[in-house]
Structure formats: C-alpha cells, structure tokens
C-alpha cells in the first residue's frame, strides 16, 4: 500500500544539539594578553605555567622548636632527657649561617630556614631550656617537622596547564611562584541591544502599552558571571533605520546579543535589517521550547545571536548557546560542563517532540539531587524564573518521564569561578 502525504513547506527547525555544534564551530579563540595576577581570576591560561623555582624554596621548619641532628635525640624521653647546647636562634625571614654540630641545638621558628647540619626539629613542647642547655624529651625521627625544599612543587614542573581557568584556589600557587602577570586568552567584547517599541527602561514610569526592558539587565548579569563586562547599547524601537544604526555600532564588538524582533511578526525587523547588512545566517529557529525563534549568524567580524524577546526564552538561549560559546571562546576545554543530573520529583509529559526547558527548583535531598519544575511555565513568566534555581532539560525525543527519572539540569549558579 502506498500513502501520499502532503508536507507543509515550513523551514526545518534546527535541533538543539545541531545548533550548539554550529555555535561552537564559530567560537574561535581571540589571541592572548598578559594581565596582572589579581585581574586573572576567572580568565583562562593561554600557556603552561612552569615553576621557575621550587616551593618551598629552602628546607624550613614546620614548627616552633629546636633544630637538631636527629641522631642526637636517639633514646630521649621525658624520663630520660638528653641535653644539647643551645647555640643560636633563627626566626622566619632570617638566615643562620652557623652550622649545627653534634650535640647542639638552634632555636627555630616556623618558616625559618633549617641551619646547615640540622636535619630535624624538636617541637617546643618536647623540649625544656635550662641554663643555656636544651633538654630534649623525645626521640625525633630524621626529617621530623621539616618542610623540604621542593616538596610542594619542583622547579621545572608545570604549575598550571594552558586551558585552566584561574580560580581562587590557584592564586596562592601562582603568587608563591612569582607570577605577577599571567598570559590569558583575550575576552570577547559583547554588545547587548534590546529591540521593541514597547520597551522602556526600569526607572521610567509605565505608559500605556509599555513594559520594562528586563532582557538587557539579565543578559548583562549572565555575561558578568562569565567575567565579561557587557557593552550595553540600550533599547531601540522597531524601526528599520534605527535598528540598522545600532547594529552598525554593535558590529565593532566580537559578539552581538540582540533581543526581540526575530520572530515572524510584521514588526520583527531585526532579521530583515541583518540581511540587508549582509549577515550570513547560520541557523534560524531551533526545535526547543521556549527559545524557538533564535537566530544565529555572522555579520562581518562579529557573531550575532538574535534572541527572542520573551524573557525566559532569552535566558534559555543564553544558557544553551551563548554561555557555551563564551566559555569556548575564552579558552575553556569543555564549554558545556556545569550540567548536573538530578532525580525528577514529579512525572513529566510533553506535547511535542521538542527540547523542553522548564524553570525548576534543584535541591539536595538525602544525599542526592532532586529537581521539581515550578508550577507555572511560560516564556514570559518572570516570577517562575525568580522562584527557580535551575532549568530541567527534556531532550527532543523523550516524550514522557516518570517521577524518579534522572534528568539533565542546568543550575543557575553564582559566580562559577569562586
Ligand atoms: P519579540 O521577540 O520582539 O516578538 O518579543 C516577544 C515578547 O517579549 C513580547 O511580549 C515583548 O514585549 C517581550 N520583550 C521583548 N523584548 C523584551 C525585553 N527587552 N524585556 C522584556 N520583555 C521583552
Ligand atoms: Mg518585538
């Protein structure tokens, strides 16, 4: 039996996976620059950092006590102390050239270099001083309480590899090794522009038919979480020439985020203006909900994300595409890390075979992560977003999920580098 089917000529929607692949293909790194170490936090290293010297740079004491030769303490105990001659003292920051000979001790503070001849430290509480003599109350093993030169890191070893994002936990090592400056990948300049004749800024009173521009603020804050100070180009009304002017200005940036005007409505002019300006469309419309109208292309030396104006759509597009793009362009190896898997606390059923993103509450329950969709869902539901700390991602081909299933979750984190 043969069947005839009529297909309606709608443009094919790009799958989320394919769209992300296309986005990441455009994410080429921007070269490197040197920045001061304190400004390097959150930046990605462009070169391996090799230790020029060892840490610690010299053998030193881990305790306040007495530097001795351990063989001089053999058999010592509280009952049978052994007596050594106190021949000097060395504090942190000083160097005692005088050697410690047999049956001698030097008073030493934490961090002070071990004098030549000494091989161990007797802690203060394991010794007693009497008339210029030190009574040793314990038998100390060779190397006791000594931090050896290079035990932390040896000269010539890799301190941090290229591609590492510099985090707080790396700063001590780099400071210790004397990296006042670090080579990092350059950050992209990202323009943020909101379109829509209905938009007013948040400090203006609402007039008839107007709403406040929330997208610019949200996109800017997400960018700052990724270490990028946005170039905020404000809002522009739905007029071709004005949009065009703003886009010309935005095109001096590496990346343009423009929200609104990419759907199929009569006033959705962004796409048309971009076409007039010579944008190469890489995809338009993704098989996802919310976020379907997303447009991605190249305009001269910039990449452009045309985001749907609905605030939740805008957020979802940022998380799924722009954040991975920015992470890759700044030099991160795995631009999608940060996803977690969590157990659904409720069943979910989908109506269409699209990737579905739901505002959700993620929390830890009895040692595992549990996730619950917020009661209201919708691309304009700002309160639902405010109640959420994550998004549930249901892939295109999964239509139904039972309570207890493991699902992919994008957490809405704080600053990921701290
Ligand atoms: P659009 O994508 O231009 O069709 O806009 C879709 C919906 O999002 C409309 O209801 C707009 O009013 C709303 N919207 C567009 N831009 C913004 C914005 N910057 N902030 C908040 N809502 C917006
Ligand atoms: Mg609009």
The pLDDT value recorded for residue 335 is 74
Has residue 6 got a pLDDT over 70? no
Atom of ligand 1 lying closest to residue 214 CA: 20
The pLDDT value recorded for residue 331 is 87
Q: What are phi and psi of 414, to 5 degrees?
A: -85, -150
Length of the chain: 418
pTM of the model: 0.88
The pLDDT value recorded for residue 332 is 83
How does pLDDT run across 224-278, given as a tens digit for each residue?
999 999 999 999 999 999 999 999 999 999 999 999 999 988 889 999 999 999 9
Identify the band that residue 2 occupies on the pLDDT scale cut at 50, 70 and 90. Answer: very low
**Exposure of 367 by Cβ count < 10 A (0-12 exposed, 13-18 middle, 19+ buried)?**
exposed
Identify whether the C-beta of residue 389 lies closer than 8 Å to the C-beta of residue 361.
Answer: yes
The pLDDT value recorded for residue 338 is 79
Among 210, 259, 272, the mutation site with the greatest number of ligand 1 atoms within 8 A of its Cβ is: 259
Domain covering 16-30+188-329 in this structure, CATH number = 3.40.980.10
Closest CA to 58 of 49, 50, 67: 67
Identify whether the C-beta of residue 369 lies closer than 8 Å to the C-beta of residue 413.
Answer: no
In angstroms, the Cα distances linking 40 to 31, 46, 124, 225 are: 15, 11, 41, 14
Q: What distance in angstroms lies between residue 266's CA and the mean position of ligand 2's atoms?
A: 9
Domain covering 340-411 in this structure, CATH number = 2.40.340.10
Q: What distance in angstroms lies between residue 116's CA and the mean position of ligand 1's atoms?
A: 74
Q: Which sequence spans correspond to the domains of the chain?
A: 16-30+188-329, 47-55+153-185, 60-147, 340-411
What is the percent of the chain with per-residue pLDDT over 70, rounded to a whole number? Answer: 96
Identify whether the C-beta of residue 364 lies closer than 8 Å to the C-beta of residue 391.
Answer: no
Has residue 385 got a pLDDT over 80? yes
Ligand 1-lining residues (CB < 6 angstroms): 194, 196, 198-199, 211, 213-215, 259-261, 263, 265, 268, 308-311
Regarding the domain with residue range 60-147, which homologous superfamily does it belong to in the CATH classification?
Molybdopterin biosynthesis moea protein, domain 3. (2.170.190.11)
Residue 264 backbone class (left: φ over 0; alpha: ψ -120 to 50; beta: rest): alpha
């Amino acid at each position: 039996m043969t069947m005839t089917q009529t297909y309606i000529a709608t443009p094919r929607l790009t799958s989320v996976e394919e769209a992300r692949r296309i986005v990441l293909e455009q994410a080429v790194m921007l070269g490197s620059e040197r920045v001061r170490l304190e400004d390097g936090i959150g930046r990605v290293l462009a070169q391996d950092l090799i230790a020029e010297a060892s840490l610690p740079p010299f053998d030193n004491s881990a305790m306040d006590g007495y530097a001795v030769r351990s063989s001089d303490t053999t058999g010592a105990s509280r009952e049978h102390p052994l007596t050594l001659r106190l021949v000097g003292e060395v504090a942190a920051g000083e160097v005692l050239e005088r050697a410690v000979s047999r049956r001698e001790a030097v008073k030493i503070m934490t961090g002070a270099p071990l004098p030549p001849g000494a091989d161990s430290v007797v802690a203060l509480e394991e010794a007693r001083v009497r008339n210029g003599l030190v009574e040793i109350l314990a038998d100390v093993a060779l190397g006791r309480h000594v931090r050896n030169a290079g035990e932390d890191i040896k000269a010539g070893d890799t301190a941090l590899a290229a591609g590492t994002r510099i985090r707080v936990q790396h700063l001590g090592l780099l400071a210790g090794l004397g990296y006042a400056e670090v080579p990092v990948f350059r950050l992209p300049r990202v323009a943020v522009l909101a379109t829509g004749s209905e938009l007013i800024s948040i400090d203006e009173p609402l007039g008839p038919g107007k709403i406040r521009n929330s997208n610019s603020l949200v996109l800017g804050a997400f960018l700052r979480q990724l270490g990028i100070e946005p170039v905020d180009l404000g809002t522009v009304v739905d007029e071709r020439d004005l949009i065009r002017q703003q886009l010309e200005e935005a095109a001096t940036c590496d990346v343009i985020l423009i929200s609104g005007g990419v759907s199929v409505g009569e006033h959705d002019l962004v796409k048309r203006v971009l076409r007039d300006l010579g944008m190469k469309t890489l995809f338009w419309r993704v098989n996802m909900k919310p976020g379907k109208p997303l447009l991605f292309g190249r305009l001269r030396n910039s990449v452009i994300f045309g985001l749907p104006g609905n605030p939740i759509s805008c957020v979802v597009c940022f998380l799924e595409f722009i954040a991975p793009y920015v992470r890759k362009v700044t030099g991160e190896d795995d631009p999608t890390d940060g996803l977690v898997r969590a157990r659904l606390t409720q069943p979910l059923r989908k109506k269409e075979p699209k990737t579905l993103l739901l505002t959700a509450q993620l929390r830890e329950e009895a040692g595992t992560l549990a996730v619950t969709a917020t009661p209201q869902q919708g691309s304009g539901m700002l309160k639902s977003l405010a109640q959420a700390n994550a998004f549930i991602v249901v892939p295109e081909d999964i239509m139904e999920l039972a309570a207890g299933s493991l699902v992919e979750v994008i957490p809405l984190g704080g600053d990921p580098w701290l």
